[in-house]
Amino acid sequence: MGFMKSLYLIAAFLFIFNFCNGKEKPDTLLRVYPYNSVYAELLGQTVLGISFNYERVLLHRKFYYLTAKVGFGAGFVIPKASMIAFPIIVNNIFQVYKGLGLEIGTGIDWMIVDPEGGEANESGFWANGNAPLAAGIAGIRYQAKKGFLFKFDLTPFTDFHEFYCFFGFSFGYSFPWKNKK
């Protein structure tokens, strides 16, 4: 048998094998995320603190989710200033494989900064105090079958004079919306 015939036979075998192998059930490739999530975020939108968040799926397509997140948190921004934060974020989630997804979002983070002892920092950013900041999220998300949720995000925000970027870890639980009949 000639070299070209062998090459054609191998190509035909690979084509048929790939076609037969491609008939996996679609549910093994993507997992439907639950529509509600509650989680605690360490660092992230509260800079050096913790926030508690609720996230709801607004729109779901085959591998795309649009969600809205609201939260409440407290933290520290400089050694002598405490802060309360209220993040409100619209988030895009692109599901990559099973429970793994990439997310990117934007919104506002209303920060109320209280400098202890009347001291404000020199940069002027935290001296603005009670102002909404443009905020964002970019990161990865893992959603387990039983509801466990883990996220790692970069969380940039700005007052349009200065740009800051932090990171955060989130642990929580996701659950479906149950209709009462």
Three-state DSSP class for residue 18: helix
The whole-angstrom separation of Cα 86 and Cα 97 is: 31
93-128 exposure pattern, b = at least 16 Cβ within 10 A, e = fewer: bebeeebebebebebebebebebeeeebeeeebbee
- Phi and psi at 119, nearest 5°, equal -90, 130
Residue with the bigger pLDDT between 29 and 110: it is 110
CATH topology for the 31-175 domain:
Porin (2.40.160)
Q: Per-residue pLDDT tens for 52-79?
A: 999 999 999 989 999 999 999 998 766 6
Do residues 110 and 85 touch, judged by C-beta distance below 8 A? yes
Q: Read out DSSP for 142-153?
A: EE-TTSEEEEEE
pLDDT for res 179 = 59
Angle CA 130–131–132, to nearest 5: 135
Q: Considering the chain, what percentage of its residues have pLDDT values greater than 90?
A: 49
pLDDT at 8: 65
Q: Is residue 92's pLDDT more than 90?
A: yes
Q: From CA 113, how far away is CA 84, in angstroms rounded?
A: 7
Give me the chain's average pLDDT, please. Answer: 82
Over range 77-91, report the average pLDDT. 85
Residue 158 DSSP SS3:
strand
Model confidence pTM above 0.85: no
Q: Where are the domains of the chain?
A: 31-175
